[in-house]
A and B are shown apart, each in its own frame.
Chain A
């Protein structure tokens, strides 16, 4: 397989006051060349630690990490990859062009035209001579993307590339990322923007507490979706008849919205609605959303925590109910 990133049993352990704590545990990650890969997980799941290991900023405690066919941190592979950190900071006294030229110099690039062209490409053509302190968040992010393209990288690590941006900047950056893939680059995105990830990523990995929960193609992971049945003129007794653990039913002013798992046939319900004098408005098969998968992947923790301690707070209970609602 043609892999841009590969980790085998990657583990990172830190010594804490309460003993050894694993931030990343036996992580097996495979990112294919030329794909957009989403790396997801709640805060503290080990995403940033994994990225730092892959960039060679820190070392793993055990296991293996290879980037572009070389061990993580290898300076030769750094010539072929780029990194855009979350909320990047730039030296405020410098202009967008000077920042880009500074990062270019780290690759030994002295070509000013290249920097200008890249800034034009990220729509900063009119602003690159202004100090970075006058830039909006979106403009700073675009400078970050320009600097990340200086070495014509094969692999881009983007940490929360659309975080905190207004909708227009958001869409622009998302489109740029799609263009990167069209150019044959591999893009590794760590993000909490699940709708973006769902829209642009080919494959995703979800980690929780340092462990891999899901990894695969989005289409495969999100298969096994839901069917939504909407009907009017439905009697209340029908809701009682179909109430079940894996189904959400909502009835208001005679309008029923039923959310069924796709393993269940809607025919029986449709027949019952018609027999009861109601009329079916729509039957829509829905793919599982990434948000559902994500919550499924991380929700077990909260439930387990409550069971272990035996002391669930009101907030925990509310959260659990909400998660059950979402997943049922």
Chain B
């Protein structure tokens, strides 16, 4: 475990200093700061605009950071030959991969925590009358985004065991788009008995292989205070378990490929 944590710690230290990630983070933070000014552009209530816009910024920024951060993790180690020094020590490849992944998730968590802190600050300034419970509800969305991004990082890590960074960028981005925009559609088709059997099978396969990223977007329950979940805690636990299962599958798949890969 020490080996994995050491690799993770070093990965965090390096990731939070990578300029490209800091620039993406800075852009996200800038959007969060100017968000209150954008409510005048919309006819909807300032609360709705503020919440949906800021959460959207956090989600998009985090997704870009997760992909850019993870696609380069393994290739950089090979290119700089640090992997040879590390693997010549008593370190198994799966430990190396897991350490890199946990480091990526750790760095992602730090960056998302910063954005969430700014979100809460902006919200408290603009919605001074809002109580602590409202703020806590708002902070729940980034937490689910973090779970979502941890899953996205696992997808990128899986592809990085055999694809180049550029190819990986588009593959992971593609999986995220399909899982975010089309997963509910595939889910509907897979559950619809009236459609063609082949189409149904294809939809089921895609729905199974591509994680449903859309379900981690819990904005609606925050914006629409009228919509209530029957068992909120259970729902979130199920989402975390779902993400955990997919993360495990992608990481184990990645480890199996990486174990045989000639670096």
Interface residues of A (CB under 8 A from B): 52, 55-59, 75-76, 78-79, 81-91, 93-94, 102-103, 105-108, 144, 147, 151, 157
Contact = CB atoms under 8 A, between A and B. Distances in A.
Contacts, number: 70
B256 interface: no
Contact of B85 (A76, A103, A105, A107): A103
B90 A107 contact: yes
15 contacts: A58-B262, A78-B89, A81-B88, A83-B85, A83-B88, A84-B85, A86-B81, A94-B10, A102-B10, A103-B85, A105-B2, A106-B6, A107-B89, A144-B85, A147-B85
Interface string B203-244: 000000000000000000000000000000000000000000
Nearest first, the 6 closest Cβ-Cβ pairs linking A and B are A83-B88, A89-B80, A105-B6, A106-B89, A78-B90, A58-B262
Contact of A90 (B2, B6, B82, B89): B82
Given A75-B90, A75-B92, A57 B84 contact: yes
Contacts of A89: 80-82
Interface in B79-116: 80-82, 84-92
B107 to A, nearest CB: 12
Contacts of B6: 102, 105-106
A57 B87 contact: yes
A147 B89 CA distance: 10
B202 interface: no
Nearest to A49: B262
Contacts of A76: 90
A87 B84 CA distance: 12
Nearest to A90: B82
Contacts of B86: 106
B85 A88 contact: yes
B84 A55 contact: yes
A228 B256 CA distance: 62
Contacts of A144: 85
Nearest to A103: B89
A108 B263 CA distance: 25
Contact of A58 (B82, B90, B263): B263
A10 to B, nearest CB: 15
Contacts of A78: 88-91
B188 interface: no
Nearest to B260: A59
